[in-house]
Structure 1
Amino acid sequence: MVMHAENFQVYPEALGPGTEVGTWRVVERLGVGGFGAVYRVEDMARPGEFYALKLALRPGDERAEREVTLLMVKAVHPNVVRFHGCGRWPHPQTGYLYFVMDWVDGRPLDTWAEEVNPTFRKLAQAAAKVALAFHALHGAGVRHRDVKPVHILIRESDAEPVLIDFGIGHYVGAVTITEQTVPPGTLHLRSPESVRFHRANHGRPGARYEYQPTDDLYALGVSLYRAVTGHYPFPPHLPPDMLYLAIEAQTPPAPADFNRRTPRALSDVIMRLLAKKQLERYQTGAELHAALMAAVSFGRSVAWEASLFEWEDVEGAEPVPGDGARRRIRRPEWPTCSATPPAPRLVLAPSLPFVRRPARQDPGAVMQGPSAGVPSRHRRVYSPVLVVAVLLVVSVGLVAWGMRLLERGAVSDEKVPAPFSEVVTLPAPLREVAPVEALPEAVPATAPPMVEATAVAAAHPAAMTNEDAPVKKESKPSASALKKVGMKAMGVAGACLNLACSGPQVRPAPPPEECPPGALEAMEELGIELGDAQVFVFDVIQGEPHVITVHEGNATVRTGGDWKGLPRGGLLYGKLHLADRVYGRFTWLRVNQGRTYPVCIELLSSRRERGLERKPGSDADSARIWTTGYANPVDHFE
């Protein structure tokens, strides 16, 4: 049955089979992205010829117009999907922009690697062709900006790689569409320099990262890493701040170190693509092509002819293309040790002479004994406690010493030494400092103030009052003088107790923060309006609402289904910040269909106040809160 758009409400992301768009008939939907839907269509003038049609989700979408320009004029290459025509639908002037491309019958790079399990030689040859395509595109001023395995299709007929989806691509001279610090893109494929720029300039008006050819090549390196190991170098499911920190500071294990089948030369090429410093990576696609060809040419033939992964026979598995055997790959296990060099050993200040220094052990050794696994912030408190204990012992000793003098009349004609007439300096407590790369990005948690080296102040003898000055006595010291000695000693101990045993330190409220890139656009697409707060509940909670205990850090809440365009709600991922209230900032939304969007949502109490009220029983490291409240969309975090 032929469907005519004029007769019903148009939903460009949900066209049914048989819908006519221009001279093309929809066969099936291939996928929906943030800004367009892709369909497999048939040319009605040539039945049996199939193409891919991409339809913008909004009329007048500048992204779609720029992609048409790229494919039609700028990004013309044998390894780039070919452009065939464009138009508007359902109205030729005001409708949604669409354009038609080749329908590439093939698999994404990572799926091809796991389902076909090609040899390392074939993978390197495909990667080398992609590198040459990038060399040509970059030379023409084109930047793809969203290179990832699903955008590199390996054609079924000839194993040729084809670059697709230039939806957020850019070319020299194109008008900037967004005002974000960094261009839109996929978080776990961003380069270290773009992450570093984002961290340093996020929220600064006019700050704009200039995307470079090396950014595309870095993302290609991430894609090749995924192809030869079955894993991404940095897990995509990490919260954005942790993911950014890993990209900027951590070195992933080399592919050859856990997929032992990988030729070392290929592993080295991939690791150079992932180097933290831009100048240490390949600067052009031609350089990368030459490196891959050299690696294949001079390597051991038997290693390059091996398949990427080992096979294992599995009952009920999909037949392998070519031989029809029912088997699947054996994915290598991710190493348990990081390849990041250890931080320099921290030199601690000298400890108290009567506190035994722990024996030095190898940094890689596993901690044994009852304190194993105890966070360092719990182990830190022992030094101040020892200091307080020592002060108490000294105070009691001074009082006992004075009492003995009183009993024995030992002062006679000698001066009674003024207690604490000299400045007594307490050793600073031992500190353990986390290395910079272990600190989270978006949670500048302030550690409780440590007890610094404390000087017990005493007046210089010349400034003492007559009452405090030492005097000569013919017999016993007066009871009032000894009372003052004891009171001063106990006062010192009390002051130290107040310093070391004060109440819980309340962290400051989190500082203002801008929304993550693309959040406002994604919320608009989903129909989530600013200020339209909806009920949430913590995802792990079942049954009636009640009071729970939470800690600072990652959290997940489930939203209700009242947002327009999001009828069944979804899961929000973000962080809780403990301060005078519990502030929640959530930056990712996973809808029930499985797609994930950047968002900018904060938590409100049941009274619609920013932050959740801390209930009795809360302390510095945890908070008792109600399980429900409101999730409020905002344009920035206050």
Structure 2
Amino acid sequence: MPVHAENWQVHPGALGPGTEVGSWRVVERLGVGGYGAVYRVEDMASPGDFYALKLALRPGDERAEREVHLLMSKGVHPNVVRLHASGRWPHPVTGFLFFVMDWVPGLALHTWVETLNPSFRQLAEKVGTAALALGALHARGVLHRDFKPEHILIREKDGEPILLDFGVGRYAGAATVTTAVLPPATLHLLSPEAMHFFRTHYKRPGARYEVRATDDLYALGVCLYRVVTGYWPFSPEQPPDLLYMQIKAVLPAAPLAVNSRVPRALSDVIMRLLAKKPEARFQSGHEVHAALVAAVAFGTPEEWEFSIFEWEDAPDATDEPGGVRRRIRRSDWPTASRTPPPRRMVLGPVLAMPRLPLRRSQAVPGRAQGAQGLRRQGRRWPFWLVLVAVLACATWAAKVPGGWLLPPLTEEFPAAPRAVTTNQPARWSGHEMAQEVESPETAAAAAPPLATPTPAAAAPATHAEVQAAVKMLKTTVSPATPTPNTKAPGLGSMGKALCVGVTSAALACSGTPVRPEPPPEPCPPGAVEAMEKLGIRLGDEGTATFFFEGKHVQPTTVTEGMVNVRYALGLAEDLPQNSRLSGRLIFGERVYGRLTRARSPDGSVNIPVCLELWDRQGGRGLIDLGKRGPTTATVLSTVYVRAVREFE
């Protein structure tokens, strides 16, 4: 007795063998996706003829209707899966939309390579044909928008590549179905411009990214990279925010650096497809095909006849007792290459910094040696008991012959010395920021690492700067301060008891208070214009790390006040890696950073900037990990920097 689907209450993604959908009988389920299920079916009017039937999972699915229209008209091509029929199930009017296509026995592109291990010439032929088909679709206004190895099937009978699954495809003039910023897609296949658009527009209602042909071609480059190396250029297993930063700004290792068997010309074609700027890529599938043809024609025959991978025995997978089956051997990810992201990191591959010899810090000495440091320490216990303790001790000290134990409170300590550049006039932007110092040790070459590592706080001062600070403090302390050899008379037992008792009570009652948030302040004059000229737009994000002495530290200790961080990537191509971003840290409920100057290692870039430190969760400021001291805090050493119009 035939099984009629109209009599079954069953989910469209769970049809069993024998279920009849129109004039087609289900043989097996091939797979289920986010929008539809695909079955291998038999034509009941022609037994033995098999097809693929795709059934929408929701009634009235506009995306399925658009796919049917695309395949019926603009998608007709010898290398695109062919449409045979469409209808609705179980009700012919209100049921789920289904459509019947060619069933293409064969393997997905990456599986075909890993199973048969073809030559590079054979791969170039398949990919070149697929690129021509993609170019023909683009010329008709059709975009695939989810191009990946699984959607390129190598047909078993003739080896032709067939493009599949246009479920999220779009053609010119089609109604918009997606309400999100980006269409449904696979994250690690998205182009850098799509990722950037999402990060800068995801909160704007109605923002829509317009996919272009270069997005599909970028995805083709990702597919090729995966096929010839065995690795994705950027691992899909890492957190989305780190994947975004890598796709946007990190250049992956060239395929030739991963798999030494790859012909250099093919490696160059793939790297051009993966270019960060769309205008630097091939602009059409026909250009990709022409480049592959030229690469094969002008290369040596031997390099193109190599199999893509070497074979190795797989004794754990035998076809028969005593037999051994071969498998491909992937090369290890290169560790000495300059371009791939390092693989061992706490926060993610993109955030690692190479262990390069660093120039000694050129920051102003820490303010804890001056009045600013004392004032910040004084804010730690802003309670009335502290005031009582201080007044009590001061009263007893006033009665001591010989004067005060410390200089009178009305006398100010000097501010920390302001360093001035020796080879250029001093600049002042109207904001508190570290000015640059060119000491004799650092003017000519990078100084060797210090013998003892120091925390990654505001970058440590040079020896010359420390000596200058100590000398200035010595010459500016009040003459009323007693010398070390002067013994001041004691307070007496009653005074000591009162001071110790009241102070102990104050310390016992007081905890670490929540400090006020820093007030808003404008950017340095000309900072926004200078950033735009360099290619940094408002809202752009990048990554940076605090300076280190010899090794990567997670987490790290930072000091309130002047700070330098080392730029990693993400803001602008014209801002060199390892540029120094200078500014200051302000402690509140979080650790806030306001960076006001950027300087490249060679000095070619030296501009005012307006950048804030943000954490990975998208919040302004850095999270204090709970080990804060009077003027120190513990934070993650890798941070985001964001271009802003003003410091909020």
Alignment TM-score, normalising by the size of structure 2: 0.60
Cα separation, partners in 2 of 1:580 and 1:218, compared to 1, 3 Å: closer
Q: Which residue of 1 aligns with 2:527?
A: none
**Which letter does structure 1 place at the counterpart of 2:60?**
G
Matches within 5 A, 1:66-465: 66-317=66-317, 326-336=325-335, 337-339=337-339, 348-349=361-362, 371=453, 376-377=456-457, 398-400=479-481, 437-439=542-544, 450-452=560-562
3-state DSSP of counterpart to 1:67? helix
Cα gap change, 1:6/1:260 in structure 2, threshold over 3 Å: closer, same or farther?
same
- State the SS of the aligned residue for 2:80: coil
- Give CA-to-partner distance per residue, 1:70-129, whole Å, 9 cap, x none: 111111111111111111001101110000111111111111111111100011001100
The answer to whether the Cα contact below 8 Å between 2:363 and 2:562 also exists between their aligned partners in 1 is no
Contact map agreement 1:576 1:582 (CA 8 A) in 2: no
Q: Deviations over 1:432-469 (max 9, x none)?
A: xxx974359xxxx9x9784249xxxxxxxxxxxxxxxx
What one-letter code is carried by the residue in structure 2 that aligns with 1:309?
Answer: F
For 2:487 and 2:156, how far apart are their aligned partners in 1? 102
Q: 1:21 to 1:403 in 2, by over 3 A?
A: closer
Contact 1:214 1:281 in 2 (8 A): yes
Distance apart, 1:31 and its partner CA:
1.1
CA offsets per residue over residues 309-364 of structure 1, 9 Å max, x none?
Answer: 010011133669xxx9611111111122441799998895366699996899889x
How many angstroms apart in 2 are the aligned matches of 1:132 and 1:338?
A: 33
- 2-side partners of 1:44 and 1:103: how far apart? 15
Identical-residue share of aligned pairs (%): 52
Q: Distance in 2 between matches of 1:309 and 1:501?
A: 52
Structure 1 unaligned runs (5+)?
A: 408-434, 454-499, 509-551, 555-574, 584-613, 624-638
Q: Deviations over 1:356-390 (max 9, x none)?
A: 96899889x9x89764xx87348769999999988
Match of 1:506 in 2: 590
In the aligned structure 2, how far is the partner of 1:314 from the partner of 1:257?
25
Q: Which amino acid aligns with 1:332?
A: S
> How far apart, CA to CA, are the structure 2 residues paired with 1:319 and 1:81?
33
1:8 to partner: Cα distance: 3.7
Q: Distance in 1 between matches of 2:115 and 2:124?
A: 17
Change (3 A) 1:143 1:359: same
Q: Using the alignment, how far apart are the partners of 1:182 and 1:149 within structure 2?
A: 21
- Cα 1:393–1:306 change in 2 (3 A) is same
Q: Measured at CA, do residues 325 and 139 of structure 1 come closer, stay the same or move farther in structure 2, by a change above 3 Å?
A: farther
SS at match of 2:246: helix
Question: Structure 1 residue 141: deviation in Å?
Answer: 0.6
Q: Closer, same or farther in 2 for the Cα pair 1:270/1:581, shift >3 Å?
A: closer
- Between the aligned partners of 1:253 and 1:101, the Cα distance in structure 2 is 39
Determine if contact 1:251/1:338 at 8 Å carries over to the other structure.
no
Tell me if the contact between 2:192 and 2:276 (Cα under 8 Å) persists in the aligned partners. Answer: yes
Task: Spell out, residue by residue over 1:34-72, the C-alpha distance to the aligned partner (whole angstroms, 9 max, x if none).
Answer: 111111111122222211111101000000000000111
Distance 1:284 1:579, change over 3 A: closer
Consecutive unaligned residues of structure 2, counting only runs of 5 or more, are 342-352, 366-418, 420-436, 489-539, 546-554, 564-583, 593-613, 637-648
Deviation readout 1:231-257 (Å, 9 max, x if unpaired) = 011111121111111111000010011
Tell me, yes or no, if the aligned pair for 1:274 and 1:281 is still in contact at 8 Å. yes
Q: Give the distance between the partners of 2:586 and 2:277, measured in 1 at CA.
A: 46
CA distance in 2, matches of 1:229, 1:385: 52
| In 2: Cα distance, 1:501 partner to 1:165 partner | 51
In structure 1, distance between residues paired with 2:16 and 2:468: 76
The CA deviation at 1:621 is 4.7
Give 1:280 shift: 1.1
